[in-house]
């Protein structure tokens, strides 16, 4: 008995490289006419505006009493999304806006005051700022001096009588 091997028949794809319709041609020529959805939306908004003019405020007042949650949902749904984004905006480090403005000003001062080409390390700049602030405000701070007593060393403000360390 002779067994013959049968090769599966390959179908040729006659549609390779073809598009179902030409560019600019609708795939459903009997479908919804162009602009029909827009006309429906415009008519709905027009009808809604008429009803709103007649009953809008009274409906809102009744809704506020009967279902305030629904009123809140409607109100939040009408707000643009960027309102929520601007409310949630936080400054870096969660600083309050006044402190952030001070920090931004300090950075601009440091950039303005450094000589061109200076290779300043941020820690060095912070140290210079700290030293400058301490020396500037030192004249306004009371000077502490050590006063030695028999029992202990007490700290006192200059030009004042020393207080006992136990006070």
For the stretch 29-80, pLDDT in tens is 777 777 777 888 888 888 888 988 999 899 889 988 999 899 889 888 887 7
Query: What does pTM read for this prediction?
Result: 0.31
The more confidently predicted of residues 64 and 151 is 64
Please compute the mean of the pLDDT values over residues 121-142 and round it to a whole number: 78
Q: What percentage of residues in the chain have a pLDDT greater than 90?
A: 7
Over the chain, what is the mean pLDDT? 75
Domain boundaries, given as residue ranges, for the chain = 40-86
Pairing mode, if any, of strands 153-157 and 144-148?
antiparallel
- Residue 107 and residue 105: Cα distance in Å, rounded? 5
pLDDT band at 160 (very low <50, low <70, confident <90, very high): low
Q: Is the pLDDT of residue 165 over 70?
A: no
* Region label for 131, one of left (φ > 0), alpha (ψ between -120 and 50) or beta (otherwise): alpha
Please compute the mean of the pLDDT values over residues 107-132 and round it to a whole number: 81
**So what's the pLDDT on residue 44?**
86
Q: Is the pLDDT of residue 95 over 90?
A: no
The tokens for 131 are: 């030293």
- Residue 56 and residue 163: Cα distance in Å, rounded? 76
Residue 133: exposure state from Cβ atoms within 10 A (0-12, 13-18, ≥19): exposed
**So what's the pLDDT on residue 75?**
85
Q: Is the pLDDT of residue 16 over 70?
A: no
Q: Are 56 and 47 in contact (CB under 8 A)?
A: no
Lowest mean pLDDT segment, chosen from 1-5, 104-108, 135-139: 1-5
The 10 Å Cβ neighbour count of residue 60 is: 14
Q: Is the pLDDT of residue 94 over 90?
A: no
The 10 Å Cβ neighbour count of residue 128 is: 13
């Amino acid at each position: 008995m002779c067994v013959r091997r049968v090769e599966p028949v390959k179908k040729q794809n006659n549609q390779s490289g073809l598009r179902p319709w030409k560019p600019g041609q609708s795939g459903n020529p009997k479908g919804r006419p162009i602009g029909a959805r827009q006309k429906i939306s415009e008519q709905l908004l027009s009808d809604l505006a008429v009803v709103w003019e007649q009953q809008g405020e009274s409906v809102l007042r009744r809704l506020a009493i009967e279902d305030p949650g629904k009123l809140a949902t409607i109100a939040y749904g009408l707000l643009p999304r960027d309102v929520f984004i601007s409310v949630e905006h936080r400054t870096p480090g969660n600083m309050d806006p006044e402190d952030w403005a001070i920090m931004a000003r300090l950075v601009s001062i440091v950039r303005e005051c450094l000589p061109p080409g200076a290779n300043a390390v941020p820690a060095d700049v912070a140290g210079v700022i700290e030293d400058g602030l301490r020396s500037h405000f030192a004249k306004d701070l009371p000077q502490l001096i050590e006063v030695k007593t028999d029992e202990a060393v007490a700290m006192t403000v200059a030009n004042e009588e020393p207080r006992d360390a136990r006070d």
